Chains A and B, each alone.
Chain A
Amino acid sequence: MASHRVRPKTAGTYVRRGIVLTYLFLLVVWPVSLIAQHTFGNGFGNLHTALTDPAVTSALRLTIYVSIWAVAINTVFGVGISLLLTRYTFPGRSILSALIDLPLSVSPVVVGLALLLAYGGTNGLFGPALNSAGFQVAFATPGIVLATTFVSLPLVIRELVPVLTEIGTDQEQAARSLGAGPWQTFRRITLPSIRWALVYGVVLSLARSLGEFGAVKIIGGNIAQQTQTATLVVEQKYQDFEQPTAYATSFLLALIAVAALVVVTVLRPKENPDGD
């Protein structure tokens, strides 16, 4: 790690600092703070209107339900896939490792279309079979869970893989040689060392899940009070000229996102501790 002793500050230091702060203020800080201003412009009225609107409350409930499912699925598979990628060799491992990142780069609209082609009720690949088994995916909650799981899939894995690689396998092997079973080794040795990375990944997945818009709109169909999530209700309320409600709902979503970031920043080990 580079040394972090104090370097002399030149005029350039202040110019660069000024440019960066202005840029970030105009692009992020000012616009985001206006959300709070629009929400609380006349006290808690807007928030109250939003939270007593059945369309908003049912959307928030759906979003929370879907996010919990998506995060749970991604945590289980994330831990599993991370362990497989770092602890075992098998053909195609590097391809799998590259493909895991794909969901972060794919357009949400493309995700929605892809899921519709696979799980659409009438002419999807699996949709009709699932439908006749009494399980509707597209335009129903399972489809929204799938879309949300898709877009937040890599987040846990991306946090865990570097940590698992870094800690190595010495302790795990020691535990195994002393007679611990795989589950005991995982619970007593591996899990404690990846704990914070896992929390970090879960918080990020949660933030991402709450905010998904495009994929959920296509696979869910945006049916009010049925498959309309919180982000979709923001769009509708804004276009229906119920802008205070749109702002209040946005404020709630933004609040959760920023809270998640603060949690993550506090938890994250400092990469360049001050005064080292």
Chain B
Amino acid sequence: MDQFEKYIRDNKQVFNDHKADRAKIWAHIEPHLPTNKPKVIPLWKSPMIGKAASVLILIGIATMVNLTFFGNGNSQTNEISQELQDIDMHYKGLVTYQVQLVEKNKQLSKADKEEFLSFMVELDEEYNDLILEMHSSLDNEQVLEAIVSNYRKRIELIENLLQQLNESKIKDDHYGYIL
């Protein structure tokens, strides 16, 4: 590079003597710029996400159908999980069966049966209270334990009664045999 070139390059700021009309030029630029939107990543374009979403929608529809046609408005059973329902059914079946045994027992007097059943009614009331309690706090283990022990008590009570009856029967039979 010779002196002439160097001189020009060293002093080239002289060539920057124009001032742009900023506002005017920007006014023409701005309308052509894309609008200020945050970048959206189109998730639905991903095939995996699409499939997952379809599965979720299907599950949702199935649940809705299930609730609408098979729920029968029985909100209590819907609220209790399947496992709890199974336990409940098991104990309820046991209690009903044994209560029937007591009622059918011919050895017991009417007064004895009523006395026994009044105990059962008390325990039934306690049970209903516990169920209500459980609906308001399903996660409460103490409530669940109380329900189970309520059932156990009833069963125990019935079993004891039946055992006593059977024992007296055996005694009687034995006595008869000796005779």
Do A and B belong to a common assembly? Answer: no
Q: Which residues of A contact B (CB under 8 A)?
A: none
Q: Which residues of B contact A (CB under 8 A)?
A: none
